[in-house]
Structure 1
Amino acid sequence: MKKISKLVLIVFISIFLSVIYGITRDFITAKISPEFYTKFLFFNFGILDDYERTFSGNWTFALIWVGFFSTWWFGLLAGLILGIVGMKYSDENQMLNEELKSIFIVIGITIIFGFVGYGIAELNPSETIKNYNFPFRIEHKAEFNKVSKIHNFSNFGGIVGLIIGTFNLIKN
């Protein structure tokens, strides 16, 4: 029964840290390209219902909303996977410690990948957005592209981090 309670704890910690990461990432990247949010993410998350409408709402609330709903599910998935794999430990404290290490591996790799995405976009600032096929016009393409790359790379980094974190639990 103690292992089940540790599993539930790991899932909640994973969700919490994922949400903190998502909100922090959104607060940082919204400074780079507010347009990415007002024309893309706010529409996708139901905050705006028209691409051309000017956003006049509360930025803080909107960024928390987007950050929460874009990451909580990955925290749940990561917590469940790492928690279940970590049940192989006979000692509950060792189980919790190893699972926490793996969660921080996931977050660390996710952050690194986000920086890599930023770096790639920064090294190629003249890259134009041709293939996105959006139903709206992008005013600041380089900034929009930076934030898009940060989000895409960090999402991929989360997957890579989860794989590495899971292997970390298996090998110990």
Structure 2
Amino acid sequence: MDERYPIGRFDVPEEVDSAKLTAWLYEIEALPRLLNQMVMNLGEDALQKTYREGSWTVKQVVHHIADSHMNSYIRMKLAVTENNPTISTYEEQLWAELADYTLPVEVSLQLIASLHQRWLHFLRSLTEEQLQKKFVYPNGEAIQVKQAIGLYAWHGNHHLAHIKQAIS
């Protein structure tokens, strides 16, 4: 198993049916609760553990999830309201070194809970036409909103597995 991808890599499916979409939305909905259960009672020593040599700490992973999912929410809103917008990427590793990543994990846990509540309300309101809208990465690759929902369901599970690795 590749420790960087404990649940495997995400393969963007060509077709997304309603059952798959429903399952992904459930996973996005469950993430704040599962993340809370996993990290809320960890001491600072456990929060400083890493899932592999040279990786982020548990605390950094929690803050990263907040940053990543905020970016995803905005990217999806851009896709729905604009015509194939090119999104901005960001230097995740450099963000993980900024001062806000030293805040208590509770700050990001609260943010993730609120963000996911709002994000899910938005996602569940989308029409099939809106779910097919796309955003474009700077390299020219495009992804439909409904495919990106799968990517971010995977992303949450991917980092839950990292945290589990680090604390076990």
Shared fold (TM-score, shorter chain, > 0.5) = no
Indicate the structure with greater helix content: 1
**Rg larger for:** 1
Structure with greater contact order relative to length (CA < 8 Å, sep ≥ 6): 2
